[in-house]
Amino acid sequence: MEDNQSLEGKIEALLNVEKQMRLAGDVVGTRKAVMDIVELCFQAKAWKTLNDQIVLLSKRRGQLKQAVTAMVQKAMQYIDETPDLDTRIELIKTLNSVSAGKIYVEIERARLIRKLAKIKEEQGLISEAADLMQEVAVETFGAMAKTEKIAFILEQVRLCLDKQDYVRAQILARKISPRVFDIDPSKGKKKPKEGDAVVEEAPADIPSLLELKRIFYEHMIRYYSHQNDYLEICRSYKAIYDIPAVKEDPSQWIPVLRKICWYLVLSPHDPMQSSLLNATLEDKNLNEIPNFKLLLKQLVTMEVIQWTSLWEMYKTEFENENNLLGGALGDKAAEDLKLRIIEHNILVVSKYYSRITLQRLAELLCLSFEEAEKYLSEMVVSKSLIAKIDRPLGVVCFLTEKDSNDVLNSWAGNLEKLLDLVGKSCHQIHKETMVHKVVLNA
């Protein structure tokens, strides 16, 4: 009881000092008085009194910004010293309410919300944690370090992915430009110009830019895996593969390069996929995994691939991915792999034939008549191929895609022929008319 009275007396005395300093506009004195009150409550382990005093001091008339900032920063040091979880949550909530809407403590508020979200996540309340994190738009914080901003947004993305809110995860991920990871951290920092906002140093627990790059692309792989967007997954793995720390360690780059190869094969045929495929084939590291080099070479070679022999050869490798970095390739991957081989074979046939019967096409693809027609139609619809099917005759005509200049030239040529024919017809009509006139006159 005496201790409580003694604490109250000391706080009262310091509050009087704080009032005098505040009214006098003494920033240093006010800040010291505020910090002494907070420290006094902490030393006495009076957590409820600490919360009450923080709220009281922040609401005092004409309270100085510097004093509020110092008080919040000081109290944040005591969060990890709290005796139990409830006290910790209460202190975080108090500091959060005090810093809400105040630009000068926006960074502290972001850190407080991140701590509270972590507690909620540990309690299994993923949705609540994600909602808490989404309240803060750190991309607008000028004084926050770049790496801390990226780390915060990545936490927001991860929590959205954990609660399977893929739309919001994509919106948040777009706040990070991939180009930010290409900045060389070894280059010296520019000296801030006069009038520029001072950027705070990132806390020690924030990962480096290259580590954040890896986390970003791992989250992107999770997002694109939900969409089954194989080409984007491949590009994400390619970005991880280009990180120097990964390239230097074979135990890291071999599983990543395997994934790149698999997802290249699984990606639909288009210019981007073709470009990545050829670039990967030129990589010398591919010699370390000859099976995958052979797989990619088969895709660039204009020859029909037998699905059964290919699957027998690569089935074990396909199943081994479950135990490697990045995990399994997905439930649909085996079906999609077969589909990509069929599409490759149809493209090969279109290079060698201008006309072919559907029956012969089905034989070459080792498919039934109906399946051959189905896969061919799907490729025409997706504009991977230009072809026409004469169903009564059972004949497929493969056409080459015309360039816009060729189309315009053909139109010009056709118009020229048309005008020539019109000119000749007019001449013939005029000639016949003149002949008939001469006969009538005679």
What's the number of CA atoms in the CB half-sphere (13 Å) around residue 432? 6
Instruction: Give the mean pLDDT of 63-70.
Output: 83
Task: Tell me the pTM.
Answer: 0.79
Burial readout 272-299 (b: 16 or more C-beta within 10 A, e: otherwise): ebeebbeebeeeeebeebeebbebbeeb
With respect to residue 178, please indicate whether it lies within any of the assigned structural domains.
no
With respect to residue 51, please indicate whether it lies within any of the assigned structural domains.
yes
- Is pLDDT above 60 for 3? no
Q: Contact, 54 vs 95, CB < 8 A?
A: yes
Look up residue 168 and give its two tokens: 């919001």
pLDDT digits (tens, 9 = 90+) for 203-225: 777 888 888 889 999 999 989 98
> What are the backbone dihedrals phi and psi of residue 330, each rounded to the nearest 5 degrees, phi first?
110, 160
pLDDT digits (tens, 9 = 90+) for 357-405: 888 888 888 888 888 888 888 888 888 788 888 888 888 888 776 667 7
With respect to residue 85, please indicate whether it lies within any of the assigned structural domains.
yes
With respect to residue 29, please indicate whether it lies within any of the assigned structural domains.
yes
> In this prediction, what percent of the chain has a pLDDT beyond 90?
2
- Is pLDDT above 50 for 188? no
Q: Which long-range contacts (CB under 8 A, 24 or more apart) does 378-382 make?
A: 379/343, 379/346, 382/268
With respect to residue 351, please indicate whether it lies within any of the assigned structural domains.
no
Four-residue CA torsion sign, 285, 291, 296, 297: positive
pLDDT digits (tens, 9 = 90+) for 314-337: 888 888 877 777 667 766 788 888
With respect to residue 36, please indicate whether it lies within any of the assigned structural domains.
yes
- In Å, how far are 78, 265, 274, 281, 344 from 290, measured between CA atoms? 57, 15, 20, 11, 21
CB atoms within 10 A of CB 149: 22
Q: Transcribe 196-252 into DSSP letters.
A: PPPPPPPPTTSPPHHHHHHHHHHHHHHHHHHHT-HHHHHHHHHHHHTSHHHHT-HHH
- Is pLDDT above 60 for 275? yes
Q: What angle do CA 78, 81, 84 make, to 5 degrees?
A: 120
pLDDT digits (tens, 9 = 90+) for 399-416: 776 667 777 888 888 888
How many angstroms separate the CA atoms of 271 and 376, rounded? 20
| Number of domains comprising the chain | 1
How many angstroms separate the CA atoms of 31 and 18, rounded? 8
In one-letter notation, the amino acid at residue 42 is: F
- Is pLDDT above 70 for 5? no
- Is pLDDT above 50 for 306? yes
pLDDT interval class at 194 (50, 70, 90)? very low
With respect to residue 181, please indicate whether it lies within any of the assigned structural domains.
no
pLDDT interval class at 422 (50, 70, 90)? very high
With respect to residue 106, please indicate whether it lies within any of the assigned structural domains.
no
Domain range enclosing 35: 1-99
Look up residue 377 and give its two tokens: 């139609």
Largest Cα–Cα distance of the chain, in whole Å?
A: 146
